[in-house]
Chains A and B, each alone.
Chain A
């Protein structure tokens, strides 16, 4: 299954690049720099999805005590942090020519930075504790509490006065149809990328566990 998805992923991402650079028209005011939006929003969507999966499997782990769910949750956290870092890189790259600054303490930017720090702390916590049930339980609680910031990040541009663009409004999306198509293609390709990264990472963790069992048995 992993191989089949990988074969699908290569053309899907190429098509997403084609849509972002060739198919989508340049934005009237921002010009070509707006094209970073397709990758910025896809990375943001993916990190939110990854943190939701982490939250979900942390709850399931606490309810069942099954170690597999902890593997799901921690794999999702690692991928989520990578994509959250991508959001923090692509955002300032867009902001410099448009806002004339790399960073501003805007509610959306600040809440997102806090979100990134929460999940980096989650990974540090896991990396610095010995393998035990206590570690898995503690990280599951951390994963659940950390998720509180996700809806705050999403709603920050609606609750507070902000200069961050609002793409999804109560009346729909403020986007040209070609831009919308490019955005959905990028979202689909990135979601597929997330699924493959999850399968790979979980496979690695399973191997790691099996090898440590064998070495322990020697």
Chain B
């Protein structure tokens, strides 16, 4: 039973982590774009 619970929560955490990581990547891209704009 506990292994199923662990697997279920690990799945939920993986989904949340992917979302946070995508947010981080998006933020990095905008930061880079702004930096390029500032240099122009």
Known contacts A10-B17, A13-B17, A211-B34, A3 near B24 by CB under 8 Å: yes
The stretch that binds B, out of A47-55, A72-80, A143-151, A199-207, is A199-207
Which of B1, B3, B10, B20 is in CB contact (< 8 Å) with A14? B10
Chain A interface size, under 10 / 10 to 19 / 20 to 34 / 35 or more:
20 to 34
What A residues does B2 contact at CB under 8 A?
21-22, 32
CA distance A10 to B14 in the complex (A): 8
Does A207 lie within 8 Å of B20, measured CB to CB?
no
Out of A10, A200, A211, name the residue touching B24 (CB < 8 Å). A200
Q: Judge whether B3 and A22 touch: CB under 8 Å.
A: yes
Residue of A2, A6, A21 with most chain B CB atoms under a 10 A cut-off? A21
Whether the Cβ atoms of A200 and B17 lie closer than 8 Å is: no
> A17 contacts which chain B residues (CB < 8 A)?
6, 9-10, 13
6 CB-based A-B contacts, threshold 8 Å: A2-B24, A9-B17, A10-B13, A22-B6, A200-B27, A210-B34
